[in-house]
Structure 1
Amino acid sequence: MACTNKDDLINLTEREFAKLQKLIASLDQAQSEKGEDDVSIKDVIGHRAHWIDLFLGWYNDGMAGKEVFFPAKGYKWNDLKRYNADLRQRQAHLDWETVKTLLQSRHDQLVLFLSDLSNTKLYGGPMQGANNKWTTGRWAEAAGPSHYRSAAKFIRTVLRRQS
């Protein structure tokens, strides 16, 4: 069930991030190795960091009255597989430590963003530019804690396969 207020959203964001951090803390550069689906743990962590950037960009563009591209300019939602493959290619040069640092940095930006907005700005109505009924808080939850949870699930699956 989605959060409906700022305090719950911040708490959920911090809780899910802590779980993910605990999971990746002991992993090393070997996590850059691609699995059966041509996706590595490093790819998934880089993806999660990037989607926080996307969300913050969507919000800022909407607030500035600019056109908001979901998920990004030149892509539609049904192009997500292609978008994610292109993202993996763009992030291929990043090493494991860089990707973990990137995730921490984007998480910190997300928490600061959530802390700076009022409950009304997060949940008082649809996010500007989104062209749907999701609130800013709901979009933030999808980009942060929901993505952290799915990354943790992916990592646990990979680690089970490896053992």
Structure 2
Amino acid sequence: MPRPKTKAELIQLSQENFRKLNDFVDAFSEPELIAEFPEGTLNRNIRDVLAHLHEWHLMMLNWYHVGMDGKKPDIPAKGYTWKTLPALNKEIWDKYHTVDLGEVRKMLNTSFATLQQVIGKHSDEELFEKKRYKWTGTTSLGAYFISATSSHYDWAYKLIKKCKK
């Protein structure tokens, strides 16, 4: 499916990609689920990838709530810029690398459901009209949700697939 341009497309693609990722992960045996990826990736295993997605869900929800309250959110996070993303992603890894995979999956499912509810509250115009909200700058709210959901799930799926070859 091409990049979503409507609320229905955004919900559909985010749910499809999330389901595809989870179905893929569910197909691994217990030893495969905890096996380390080849050297050279920050996210060292499936848990790390799923924890990364969860934390980005939380960041997106924070940006949303702060921005919708009329304030300027720290995007991507306080003390970080898009150029310092590797350091932010390392901080995320540090935060979750000792958390059990089962717990990470529960947290991810919860944050996914919360994002879906937030998306569901908005109209097509609210989601896809550029410059509608001051905090989203020149882009649309939907573009932020696409990045935090369907596109990110696709990235995760491809990373796990590549590392499990």
CA distance in 1, matches of 2:125, 2:53: 26
Change (3 A) 1:79 1:32: farther
1:32, distance to aligned residue in structure 2 (A): 4.1
Aligned runs of 1:36-55 on 2, under 5 Å?
36-37=39-40, 38-39=42-43, 40-55=45-60
Matched, 1:139 2:140: no
CA contact (8 A) 2:25 2:33 kept: no
Paired amino acid for 2:71: K
Matched, 1:83 2:88: yes
Change (3 A) 1:97 1:136: same
Moved more, 120-129 or 59-68: 120-129
Moved more, 9-18 or 119-128: 119-128
CA distance in 1, matches of 2:150, 2:76: 18
CA distance in 2, matches of 1:52, 1:62: 15
Change (3 A) 1:78 1:29: farther
1:75, distance to aligned residue in structure 2 (A): 0.5
CA distance in 1, matches of 2:13, 2:93: 27
Which residue matches 1:9?
10
Paired amino acid for 1:92: H
Aligned runs of 1:83-162 on 2, under 5 Å?
83-126=88-131, 127-131=133-137, 133-160=138-165
CA distance in 2, matches of 1:117, 1:78: 31
Q: Secondary structure at the match of 1:22?
A: helix
**Aligned structure 1 segments of 4 or more residues deviating by more than 6 angstroms:** none
Identity in percent:
26
Aligned runs of 1:58-73 on 2, under 5 Å?
58-73=63-78
Across the aligned residues of Structure 1 and Structure 2, the Cα RMSD in angstroms comes to 1.6
Paired amino acid for 2:33: Q
Which residue matches 2:24?
23
For structure 1, the residue ranges without an aligned partner over 5 or more in a row are none
Q: Secondary structure at the match of 1:142?
A: helix
What do the CA deviations read for 1:103-160 (whole angstroms, capped 9, x no partner)?
Answer: 11111111111111111211123343133x2211111000001000010001111111
